[in-house]
Amino acid sequence: MEPNASVQTTEGATASADGHEALIAELKEQREKIKQGGGPKRIETQHAKGKLTARERVARLLDEGTFQEIDAYMTHRHTDFDMDKQRYPGDSVVTGFGKINGRPVCIYAQDFTVLGGSFSEVQGQKVAKVMDMALESGVPVIGLNDSVGARIQEGVYSLAAYSELFWRNTQASGVIPQISVMLGPCAGGSVYSPGLTDFVIMTKGTSHMFITGPQVIKTVTREEVDLETLGGAMTHNTVSGVAHFAADDEGHALELTRTLLSYLPSNNAEPPPALEPTDDPWRMDEELNTIVPTDPGEAYNMKTIIRKVFDLDSFFEVHRDFAQNAIVGFARLHGQVVGVIAQQPMILAGVIDIDASDKIARFIRFCDAFNIPLVTFIDSPGFMPGVAQEHGGIIRHGAKIVYAYSEATVPKLAVVTRKAYGGAYIVMSSKYIRTDLVLAWPTAEIAVMGAEGAVNILYRKHLKAVADPEAERARLVAEFREKFSKPYRAAASGHIDDILIPAETRPRLIAALELLRDKQVTLPPKKHGNMPL
Ligand code: HXC
């Protein structure tokens, strides 16, 4: 167009190029205003708390220059409580899409500078729109959470908006990965959105999640409790298991998010992202041959085995601080993503308790939903005995592991490194819950229970009758162990598929995974099962 040329608008009016410049200048001004969120003072307060603003966080998380914001002009329509004087363009959340490591994602970031990031009708509408886009496009959705909870001034409008979010979290579950990054408070019923998502990353010191705040607890129970103990990052990473990762600061939380996404497919119809292999598929680390002590009472670090078997530096542990008697995480085998599940003999001898059951079952279900093959390492004396565990419902929780493995149709490989006693043998990826290949190391002990317990039960009367019960017990224990402390009986009957020299584990798993990559299994038609929750 010529400079200063006139243009005919649809209304028949004539606008000049100067008019266009004015329009663009106005838009730029609007954009500057939008960037201010709740205003410079509140941004200053946010920074003083050691927190970034919503837009700063989005910019830091996404690949540079990829963020496409939407709905930046939406404002609320409420007037009670002087709300008409508190309208900010975009309201209390920044939404849109962009890329992480070159792959598209949808994102929302609660803006604490606008009415504390409170969840409003508009915030609900905006978040719903990006979640719908994520689901329809088949890309992960990431929520950066920093909010005081339901916007009190909006009453039921806020609650309805939350319900819409929870409904969408449920619809999206198992279809696209959902990640919640906690960068500030998350109070009341609003915790159910992160609770419904696949992974929760909490930031130490600044993020808190709780259903009921300290003030209410004090009023109702007179109990004094501080925010960190109640719902800080370490509480939810070590005690409750609500969170999967504890970040040292915001930068770390965003870095963890990028790393986590590098292991996940964009949706349930895609395979997880493979990398060009850089590690030798034939690497056979001789140290693996001696890592498991021959004395069954001696501990060793299962993570050393994991690091030696999978591609170098590829193990990314999930739920690291929770139920440490179990290990779960992502790794790569010849560039392919797998989900690793294992016991940790260094913690409680690798026993399976309530928390370990929940941790393992949940991880299996995530991997199965997103086409990630499972590799399980077993060394467990069985389920944790005792009144506390029985009263806590170990039966119900332990059953989740059997359910999750049995239901999973992805390739399933298992390696018995040492103890696979009783229930632990069955639930931890045994052949009979349809594991494709169960391999054992020469140190594997597959038995109904440990030698001491078995001898006490089988020979109770006999041991009472003999002259030297202790010597006789020791003899019987040794005899029992000789029978069951080696995997040959189990291999002779086909209950395991092969016995490996431990150093061979890596190439054997790679070969099996290659065979099973396109494994096809169909489940009986049903609406859904009734998992023991
Ligand atoms: C609207 C709110 C608000 C709320 C705080 N603000 N809570 N606005 N609705 N629920 C405002 C404050 O007035 C303040 O506005 C701004 O947000 C920041 O709050 P501060 O208190 O100054 O921040 P801070 O000191 O960092 O304390 C954060 C906090 C505290 C610990 C989270 O705000 C707090 O305890 N809030 C209440 C949390 C809560 O109980 N929420 C409701 C949960 S029930 P100005 O203008 O001064 O900046 C719920 C039900 C959901 O969420 C149900 C879903 C199913």
* 254 and 314, same domain (yes or no): no
> Which run of H or E residues covers position 479?
helix 469-484
* 318 and 427, same domain (yes or no): yes
Q: Does 3 map to a domain?
A: no
Residue 447 near residue 530, CB atoms below 8 Å: no
Tokens of 253: 């939380």
Q: CA quadruple 234, 238, 239, 241: dihedral positive or negative?
A: positive
Assign 259 a pLDDT band (cuts: 50, 70, 90).
very high
Q: Find out whether the beta carbon of 190 lies less than 6 Å from any atom of ligand 1.
A: yes
Domain final residue pick, 261, 276, 298:
261
Q: CA quadruple 464, 469, 470, 473: dihedral positive or negative?
A: negative
* 195 and 228, same domain (yes or no): yes
Q: Find out whether the beta carbon of 118 lies less than 6 Å from any atom of ligand 1.
A: yes
Residue 380 near residue 350, CB atoms below 8 Å: yes
Rg (CA), the chain: 28
**Which residue in this structure is represented by tokens 């941790």?**
359
Q: Whose CA is nearest to atom 17 of ligand 1?
A: 116
Tokens of 509: 């798993």
Per the annotation, the verdict on 189 as an active-site residue is yes
> What is the 8-class DSSP label of residue 524?
P
* 308 and 409, same domain (yes or no): yes
Catalytic residue among 188, 231, 232, 453: 188
Catalytic residue among 19, 189, 251, 392: 189
Report the alpha-carbon distance of residue 503 to residue 439 in Å, rounded: 13
Q: What would you measure as the largest C-alpha separation in the chain, in angstroms?
A: 115
- Tens-digit pLDDT profile for residues 309-345: 999 999 999 999 999 999 999 999 999 999 999 999 9
The answer to whether residue 75 scores a pLDDT higher than 90 is: yes
Q: Which residue has the higher pLDDT, 115 or 212?
A: 115
The chain-wide mean pLDDT, for the chain, equals 94
Burial of 190 (0-12, 13-18, 19+ CB in 10 A): buried
Catalytic residue among 424, 447, 451, 490: 424
Per the annotation, the verdict on 335 as an active-site residue is no
Q: What is the pLDDT of residue 519?
A: 95
Q: What is the pLDDT of residue 430?
A: 87
Burial of 321 (0-12, 13-18, 19+ CB in 10 A): middle
Q: Whose CA is nearest to atom 34 of ligand 1?
A: 148
Distance 119 CA to ligand 1 centre (A): 10
Which phi and psi (to 5°) does residue 142 adopt?
-120, 130
Closest to 176 in 3D by CA, of 243, 262, 270, 110: 270
**Which residue in this structure is represented by tokens 């609770």?**
195
Say which range, 31-40, 126-135, 448-457, has the weakest mean pLDDT: 448-457
Residue 439 near residue 498, CB atoms below 8 Å: yes
Report the alpha-carbon distance of residue 425 to residue 445 in Å, rounded: 10
* 234 and 294, same domain (yes or no): no
Q: What is the pLDDT of residue 400?
A: 97
Q: What is the pLDDT of residue 17?
A: 67
Q: Cβ neighbours of residue 55 under 8 Å, at least 6 residues apart? A: 35, 37, 94, 109, 111
* 363 and 437, same domain (yes or no): yes
Q: Cβ neighbours of residue 43 under 8 Å, at least 6 residues apart? A: 36, 37, 53, 113
Distance 154 CA to ligand 1 centre (A): 13
* 254 and 292, same domain (yes or no): no
Q: Find out whether the beta carbon of 213 lies less than 6 Å from any atom of ligand 1.
A: yes
Domain that holds residue 299: 286-450+485-516
The answer to whether residue 353 scores a pLDDT higher than 80 is: yes
Q: Cβ neighbours of residue 163 under 8 Å, at least 6 residues apart? A: none
Report the alpha-carbon distance of residue 323 to residue 354 in Å, rounded: 9
* 118 and 190, same domain (yes or no): yes
Q: Cβ neighbours of residue 523 under 8 Å, at least 6 residues apart? A: 407, 409
Q: Does 100 map to a domain?
A: yes
Q: Find out whether the beta carbon of 150 lies less than 6 Å from any atom of ligand 1.
A: yes
Report the alpha-carbon distance of residue 419 to residue 12 in Å, rounded: 84
Q: Does 22 map to a domain?
A: no
* 292 and 257, same domain (yes or no): no
Closest to 196 in 3D by CA, of 227, 158, 162: 162
Q: Which residue has the higher pLDDT, 97 or 16?
A: 97
Contacts 24+ apart (CB under 8 A), 217-222: none
Closest to 145 in 3D by CA, of 94, 196, 188, 184: 184
Average pLDDT over residues 135-160: 96
Q: Whose CA is nearest to atom 20 of ligand 1?
A: 116
- Tens-digit pLDDT profile for residues 211-250: 988 888 999 999 999 999 999 999 999 999 999 999 999 9
Q: Does 524 map to a domain?
A: no
Q: Ligand 1 test: best mutation among 76, 122, 148, most atoms within 8 Å of CB?
A: 148
Report the alpha-carbon distance of residue 197 to residue 201 in Å, rounded: 11
The answer to whether residue 8 scores a pLDDT higher than 90 is: no
Q: Find out whether the beta carbon of 427 lies less than 6 Å from any atom of ligand 1.
A: no
Q: Does 275 map to a domain?
A: no
* 329 and 226, same domain (yes or no): no
Report the alpha-carbon distance of residue 158 to residue 151 in Å, rounded: 6
Q: Does 433 map to a domain?
A: yes
> Which run of H or E residues covers position 186?
strand 185-187
Q: What is the pLDDT of residue 3?
A: 42
Q: How many CB atoms lie within 10 A of CB 19?
A: 14
Report the alpha-carbon distance of residue 148 to residue 119 in Å, rounded: 8
Q: Does 462 map to a domain?
A: no
Q: Find out whether the beta carbon of 187 lies less than 6 Å from any atom of ligand 1.
A: yes
Tokens of 494: 């086909």
412 Cα distance to chain centroid: 19
* 59 and 162, same domain (yes or no): yes
Assign 86 a pLDDT band (cuts: 50, 70, 90).
very high
SS3 428: coil
Q: Find out whether the beta carbon of 159 lies less than 6 Å from any atom of ligand 1.
A: yes
Q: Whose CA is nearest to atom 37 of ligand 1?
A: 148
Q: What does pTM read for this prediction?
A: 0.93
- Tens-digit pLDDT profile for residues 11-21: 555 556 679 99
As a three-state string, the secondary structure of 122-142 is HHHHHHHHHHHHHHHHCCCEE
Assign 57 a pLDDT band (cuts: 50, 70, 90).
very high
SS3 268: coil
* Total tally of structural domains belonging to the chain: 2
The CATH number for 247's domain is: 3.90.226.10
* 404 and 509, same domain (yes or no): yes
Q: Does 43 map to a domain?
A: yes
